[in-house]
């Protein structure tokens, strides 16, 4: 009887809104992938089912217990990222970002979730001295190691995403506003200087293909047949969808997707497929659902019983929100071409499973609130 009452209480306080928003997003993503590359649709469905099961199991594990192992979590994360650069790393598309140890996966995607869990506990342990020079310096050193390892793959877009996540978590953790203003006063001019330097012909800071992507974003007409080709076609596809789109899995010859004008449309440019086939309405539906998932995570974090819960749920909200913005920003030409997947929509099993793990922890935070 006691167990039955306990289970009823758990199910009563389960966040069904978040589950509903996630399910809608996953279903739309599966349909979009089925149109972009039908051969991968079944794998995405299998990944979604496995991820949902993993999320459900993790949602019943007390997140305080997980956070107690924050140091091993950090060490495991660094080991996995380091192994990518070893002989176990798998090269594809000119970048060594995958690890093949019987199963092939991308540790940099899992790293985002592991770093959220690590810094949640790290910030809570050091909350009384978070604004001291020593703690801030230690935090920067701890985040710098995975960032350098990811940058060497090379994966600049994920490196930037990790940096954004770090800033979000430190802000939620209670970093001083004076310190934030001081950092902004330094980083904004440095960012301008950095952009100026990386656009120089002989620069060695970023890879040449990364430099060309930035130049193609600034001067698309000069790179229309090369680096700007995909973004230009992506914007054309989204614009051609107009209000209601050309229809799901459209067979129009003039379709950007059917004409193979965008390579790998099921990943980085999945939003172009959605915009072309489902139009402005479909694109808005995806944006609203991503926002609602992030908002629900943020609200759970707001009600969390401790700082670790605040940081985990807020970090997940920041990850979903900013990564969605960057992915859609690339597809619409607002940002340079990066290579980040659209959360819960783009094809990519490592990204999908990692996000489900993060949401599973957020669901447990909500249960712990009650």
Determine the pLDDT at residue 252.
Answer: 65
- Pairing verdict, β 95-100 and 89-92: antiparallel
Determine the pLDDT at residue 188.
Answer: 82
pLDDT confidence bin for 253, thresholds 50/70/90: low
Q: 100 pairs with which residues across the strands? A: 104
Q: What is the mean pLDDT of residues 151-173?
A: 91
**Tens-place pLDDT, residues 311-356:** 999 999 999 999 999 999 999 989 888 878 999 999 989 999 999 9
Determine the pLDDT at residue 365.
Answer: 95
pLDDT confidence bin for 99, thresholds 50/70/90: confident
pLDDT confidence bin for 2, thresholds 50/70/90: very low
Q: What is the mean pLDDT of residues 161-172?
A: 93
The candidate with the shortest Cα–Cα distance to 341, out of 355, 353, 327, is 327
Q: What is the mean pLDDT of residues 155-184?
A: 89
Cβ-contact 158, 108 below 8 angstroms: yes
Q: Provide the percentage of residues in the chain whose pLDDT is more than 90.
A: 56
Query: What SS3 class is residue 224?
Result: coil
Q: How far apart are CA 23 and CA 260, in angstroms?
A: 29
* Cβ neighbours, 10 Å, residue 325: 18
DSSP class per residue in 282-308 = HHHHHHHHHHHHHHHHHHHHHT-SSHH
Cβ-contact 298, 313 below 8 angstroms: yes
**pLDDT surpasses 80 at 102:** no
**Tens-place pLDDT, residues 49-88:** 999 999 999 999 999 999 999 999 999 999 999 998 887 7
Of the two residues 94 and 206, the one the predictor is more confident about is 206
**Tens-place pLDDT, residues 21-39:** 999 999 999 999 998 888 9
Determine the pLDDT at residue 62.
Answer: 94
Determine the pLDDT at residue 1.
Answer: 47
Tokens of 222: 């000069």
**Tens-place pLDDT, residues 181-195:** 887 788 888 888 877
Q: Which residues contact 325 (CB under 8 A, 6 or more apart)?
A: none
In degrees rounded to 5, what are phi and psi of residue 17?
-65, -45
Cβ-contact 213, 227 below 8 angstroms: yes
Q: With left for phi above 0 and alpha for psi between -120 and 50, is residue 21 left, alpha or beta?
A: alpha
Determine the pLDDT at residue 229.
Answer: 78
Determine the pLDDT at residue 280.
Answer: 95
pLDDT confidence bin for 6, thresholds 50/70/90: low
Average pLDDT, the chain: 88
**Tens-place pLDDT, residues 256-305:** 666 667 777 888 899 999 999 999 999 999 999 999 999 999 999 999 99
Query: What SS3 class is residue 147?
Result: helix
Quote the crossing angle between the two packed helices 270-302 and 229-240, to the nearest 10°.
80
């Amino acid at each position: 009887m006691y167990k039955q009452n306990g289970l009823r209480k758990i199910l009563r306080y389960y966040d069904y809104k978040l589950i509903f928003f996630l399910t809608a997003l996953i279903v739309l993503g599966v349909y979009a992938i089925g149109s972009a590359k039908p051969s991968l649709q079944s794998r995405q469905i299998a990944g979604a089912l496995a991820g949902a099961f993993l999320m459900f199991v993790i949602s019943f594990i007390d997140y305080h217990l997980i956070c107690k192992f924050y140091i091993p979590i950090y060490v495991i994360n660094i080991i996995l990222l380091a192994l990518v650069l070893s002989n176990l790393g798998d090269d594809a598309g000119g970048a060594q970002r995958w690890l093949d140890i019987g199963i092939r996966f991308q540790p940099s995607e899992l790293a985002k979730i592991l770093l959220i869990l690590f810094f949640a506990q790290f910030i809570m342990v050091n909350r009384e001295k978070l604004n001291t020079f020593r703690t801030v310096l230690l935090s920067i050193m701890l985040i710098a190691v995975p960032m350098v390892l990811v940058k060497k793959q090379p994966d600049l877009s994920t490196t930037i995403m990790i940096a954004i996540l770090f800033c979000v978590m430190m802000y939620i953790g209670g970093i001083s506003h004076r310190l934030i203003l001081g950092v902004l006063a330094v980083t904004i001019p440095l960012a301008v200087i950095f952009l100026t330097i990386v656009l120089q012909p002989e620069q060695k800071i970023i890879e040449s293909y990364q430099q060309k992507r930035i130049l193609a974003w600034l001067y698309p007409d000069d790179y229309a047949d090369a680096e700007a080709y995909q973004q230009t076609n992506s914007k054309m596809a989204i614009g051609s969808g107009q209000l209601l789109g050309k229809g799901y899995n459209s067979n129009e010859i003039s379709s950007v997707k059917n004409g193979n004008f965008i390579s790998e449309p099921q990943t980085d440019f999945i939003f172009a497929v959605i915009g072309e086939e489902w139009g402005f309405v479909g694109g808005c539906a995806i944006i609203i659902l991503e926002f609602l998932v992030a908002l629900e995570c943020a609200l759970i974090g707001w009600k969390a019983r401790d700082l670790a819960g605040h940081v985990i749920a807020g970090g997940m909200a920041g990850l979903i929100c900013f990564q969605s913005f960057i992915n859609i920003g690339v597809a619409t030409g607002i940002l340079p071409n990066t290579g980040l997947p659209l959360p819960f929509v783009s094809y990519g099993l490592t990204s999908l499973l990692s996000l489900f793990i993060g949401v599973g922890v957020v669901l447990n935070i909500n249960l712990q609130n009650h």
